[in-house]
Amino acid sequence: MFSSHKHLKRKTPEGGIDRRAFIGHLVDEYYTSTNVEALEQVTANLANFAYDPINWPHLHAADALDVFVASLDTQNPNLQLHAVAALCNFCLDTQAARFILENIAIIRSLFLRTEHTEIVLHSLALHYQLLSAELTTKQELITPDLLQRVQHWRQESKDARILSSQAKLQKVEVIKRFTQQDLETFSQFTGDFNHIHTTQLPVSERRVHGALLNAVVAGIIGTKLPGPGTVVLEQHFKFLKPCRLETDTVITVRLLKARKISSVEYECRQHDDVVFAGTAKLLTKI
């Protein structure tokens, strides 16, 4: 569950250190501590903070990305795991994704040499998320030696998560900001010129077409998770609140069951509010 600023304020005791300062303190401790357990606790805490987008500005301000990259380049598997797990979440932020791509050689080097299953899984998920961000090409990101290593793990590992033909990426998140141009293009295609989608209303009162939200979800299902070849057989969904223009919309699709007949759940969230949610039964290409 993501946090709100109001929620964080309630959780901070009177006179207590705020989230931004605490994250900065953790980063400082990483560079000054010589105790291995302390370093592992620091990176574990920073990785937890990377889960929630509300913390991303604080992590940027504290240069936490440098900590994660430095941890990848150590010989400590716990530091490496915390770092790659943090990057898996943080890479949904465009600024962070660009930084990660600038340092992708370090991540690739770790993936090629590690024997740690969890690091492998997080590394695979990170590469997939970076591809989904469309900031680089598959040819640039997925090198022949990386593909060879993936094949090695699939052949040698007994871990079902790696053996799965779905590569066990269980969740995809896409952040989209709908514009008036998006609505007008969709209206032209569908003929839905309901005034609630038009400039007849102030921007703050306009609504994104519900069918457009569902179409974006369908695009994720058909191209990312489960991926190409997927056919939607059945859907159940609800429009819980209006989806507004010019607001970051986090669209999440989760794979619940990976079979010939698979199932997913999905939601679209603006701030702390779920505006659209549902489930789907899918015919997937195995």
CA nearest to 77, candidates 112, 115, 107, 42: 115
One digit per residue, pLDDT tens: the chain, 286 residues? 344 445 444 444 455 457 889 999 999 999 999 999 999 999 999 998 988 888 999 999 999 999 999 999 999 999 999 999 999 889 888 999 999 999 999 999 999 888 888 888 888 888 888 887 778 887 788 888 888 887 777 767 766 656 553 444 478 888 889 999 999 999 999 999 999 999 999 989 999 999 999 999 999 998 888 888 889 999 999 999 999 998 899 999 998 877 778 889 999 999 889 999 999 999 876 5
Return left, alpha or beta for 134; rule: phi > 0 is left, psi -120 to 50 is alpha, else beta: left
* Last residue within a domain, chosen from 135, 163, 191: 163
Does an H or E element contain 9, and which? helix 5-11
Are 86 and 206 part of one and the same domain?
no
Residue 88's domain is classified under what CATH number?
A: 1.25.10.10
Instruction: Give the torsion sign (CA, 25, 30, 34, 38).
Output: positive
Are 48 and 106 part of one and the same domain?
yes
Does an H or E element contain 280, and which? strand 273-283
Are 117 and 244 part of one and the same domain?
no
Are 134 and 198 part of one and the same domain?
no
The total of structural domains in the chain comes to 2
Are 158 and 82 part of one and the same domain?
yes
Q: Identify the domain containing residue 78 by its residue range.
A: 5-163
CA nearest to 212, candidates 255, 181, 236: 181
Residue 193's domain is classified under what CATH number?
A: 3.10.129.10
* Last residue within a domain, chosen from 147, 163, 179: 163
Residues 6+ apart with CB under 8 A from 282: 221, 226, 230, 231, 232, 233, 261, 262, 263, 264
Give pTM, 2 decimals: 0.54
* Last residue within a domain, chosen from 163, 185, 220: 163
Distance CA 113, CA 282 (A): 36
